Amino acid sequence: MTEHHVQHIKDYLKSQGFSDFELMDDLTDHLATEIEFSMDSEKLDFETSFENAKQKLLPDFPYQLERDLKILTTPKHNIMMKKIAFIGGYLSALCLTISILFGVLSHQEKTDANSYRILVDTQNKANLLIGEKYDNEWKDYLSKMEDSQLNIIRKSKLFQSFLALSALILSLTYLPYRFYNGYQKSQLELVA
């Protein structure tokens, strides 16, 4: 491969809108290596090898490589992703904690309702033995039980809502960051 061929590759990359010289040098090296391999092994001319190398190594819009590289290597972008993941993780944990709180309160309400029912049943049985009327206490009990059941339903709905919100926040903020972080590590391991 001659210096003229290398310059032809660089001119092509410039014509595609590349401005990052390091990226252009890397792409030139990759394309030149592929072209040399194709010229040696398949006995093709430079132009055919160059077209094959472009199709094999470059995306449909080569400038997209430079734009993606800038996004991935910009420290500001990485810091922002970490902040979003950090805040999202805490919001998710907070929603999960609130969800558990409402779940416990709902369970406590059920326990209190059962205890109150046992107490009213015991009092009613005692009143029957004595012969006193217990209608007012029974109506009061039914009223409290209705209120208690409504509270249990409300707290259960809040429990479910906060649990769903927790999962949503976690899946929208923290999990993409973990995936991105793992992807970066795997890319570094491939290079090493």
Question: Is the distance from CB of 48 to CB of 66 less than 8 angstroms?
Answer: no
Mean pLDDT in residue range 165-192: 70
Task: Give the model's pLDDT for residue 100.
Answer: 84
Instruction: Specify the pTM.
Output: 0.39
Same-domain check for residues 62 and 121 = no
Write out pLDDT tens, residues 104-136.
877 877 777 777 777 777 766 766 666 555 566
Quick one: pLDDT at residue 138? 64
Last residue in a domain, options 54, 72, 90: 72
What is the number of helices (H) and of strands (E) in the chain?
7, 0
Number of C-beta neighbours around residue 113 at 10 A: 18
Mean per-residue pLDDT of the chain: 77
- Three-state SS string over 117-167 comes to HHHHHHHHHHHHHHCCCCHHHHHHHHHHHHHHHHHHHHHHHHHHHHHHHHH
User: For residue 112, what are the contacts with CB-CB under 8 A and spacing of at least 6?
Assistant: 148
- Note whether 10 and 99 are same-domain residues: no
- Residue 121 shares a structural domain with residue 90: yes
Query: Residues 121, 92: one domain?
Result: yes
Residues 63 and 96 in one domain: no
Summarize the confidence of residues 70-97 as an average pLDDT. Answer: 75
Which phi and psi (to 5°) does residue 62 adopt?
-60, -30
Same domain, 53 and 82: no
Whole-angstrom distance, CA of residue 82 vs CA of residue 177: 7
- Domain extent, residue 39, equals 3-72
